A and B are shown apart, each in its own frame.
Chain A
Amino acid sequence: MTETAQISMMTSEQVSSLIQAGQRVWVAGDEALLSTLPKGDWIGATTPYFMTEEGGAHTQQSLQVTILPKEVAKISARFYSAEELCGLAADYPANGFAYILIPAFSKAHSVFAQDCSNWPGVFDRPLIGWIAGVNVDQIGSATPKVFNGLTGESSAEKAVVMHVELVSELMAHANIINLFEPAAGDVLTFPAVGFDVTECFVNGEARNFSAYLTEHAYDTRLPLVADYMGAHVNVSVRSVDALAGKVSFYAPVFPGVEYKAAAPVADYATEFRNRLVDNHENPVFTCNCILNYLYAGLEGTKTGDWTGPITFGEIAYMLLNQTLVYLTFEKAS
């Protein structure tokens, strides 16, 4: 319903010019480049992976920019510590949405992932965003960061959120594209919330989850999938430590939620391209998962016209894995 915001790879000088010209922008890229940007109406976060107009790209030499369209009436941005995040919805705009960026491996990341769906009012406005990452070869040595351009500050611990007020004629909508479907088979449940798991229930019977995955020669590139009233929510496997009997995930599992192994996707890039061809929406912003990028070999592969950062976790109200998140503006009814 609105002119799509331009998203493209730019030099830091080009991005600086946009900011100095008063454009409101979201920026993704390398910390060294983000650190050179002037103060202005922007927030950003680190990642060296992108879906560009030419296809998947890995670069630390340029930044990816989303220019907010003219239908944005007003913005504000601030950092939230892990302890402050539960009050996020109190700052939601009257008509608009919130764009959240969280450094991977921070306390804010784990608190958001485990608790956000219980925070008062969190579903009251579209909440989208992503988890900042680093080059996968530098995990442990480089630190993901988020930036608040309005103050010129960055953080490896806090989330930064831009609250975006839209003109009254438009409404924002958050949505997802998830190629993974639950396979037929065992129902998996977990006794407690967490990123790390030892015990699980397989069709109600207590098991060591690591032993279960090993016994089934589980392909850990496939996430577990939960059915949230028809919305498929993935939890991706980070590691399986058979000796310690422990499995780690990239997002938490929750007690009471039923999970199933995902059915294999024959050709992710082709399937993804087909889904985008069938989807006639015109997103203002999209982001997709580093695991889809790596497992499906998306570097250098064009999957459609949608562009955006490749991230260490996607946010559409909740933390998601191996999922594309997108934001659209529609005419208010």
Chain B
Amino acid sequence: MIPSLQDPRWKRAFSNVPAIQKCSLSTRMLFARIKVRLQLDTSDATLQRAISEVHDYFEKNYGAVKNELPLIFG
């Protein structure tokens, strides 16, 4: 189950490195690029865009990444 856009677990997800390291190459690269973006721009708008982007990625890739969701979000 993909957390909703308002779910507080998203904020933690971006720094959950041990979990993301167990994920597919695409998930690792996406999270790595977003982590850098969030470091360079700490605004709430950037965080919301990042959440929306990753939410969209999980939705479009659900079949491939559904096993990664419990790792990242618990």
- Interface membership of chain A positions 222-266, coded 1 if the CB is closer than 8 angstroms to chain B and 0 otherwise: 000001111101000000000000000000001111000000000
Within 8 A of B (CB), among A104-144: 117-118, 120-121, 123-126
- Interface membership of chain A positions 174-204, coded 1 if the CB is closer than 8 angstroms to chain B and 0 otherwise: 1110000000000000000000000000000
What is the interface of chain A, defined by CB distance below 8 A to chain B?
95, 117-118, 120-121, 123-126, 171, 173-176, 227-231, 233, 254-257, 316-318, 332-333
Report yes or no: B25 in contact with A176, Cβ–Cβ below 8 A. Answer: yes
What is the interface of chain B, defined by CB distance below 8 A to chain A?
17, 20-33, 35-37, 39-40, 53, 56-57, 60-61, 63-64, 66-67
Interface of B is mostly: helix
Residues on A with C-beta less than 8 A from B33 are 117-118, 228
Report yes or no: B26 in contact with A174, Cβ–Cβ below 8 A. Answer: yes
Compute how far the CA of A227 lies from the CA of B61 in the bound complex, rounded to whole angstroms. 23
Report yes or no: A254 in contact with B25, Cβ–Cβ below 8 A. Answer: no
Closest 6 CB pairs of A and B: A230-B21, A228-B32, A256-B36, A229-B28, A123-B26, A123-B30
Report yes or no: A124 in contact with B60, Cβ–Cβ below 8 A. Answer: yes
Residues on A with C-beta less than 8 A from B37 are 256
B25 interface neighbour in A125, A174, A227, A255, Cβ under 8 Å: A174
User: Given the known A-B contacts A254-B36, A256-B39, are A228 and B28 also in contact in the complex, defined by CB atoms under 8 Å?
Assistant: yes
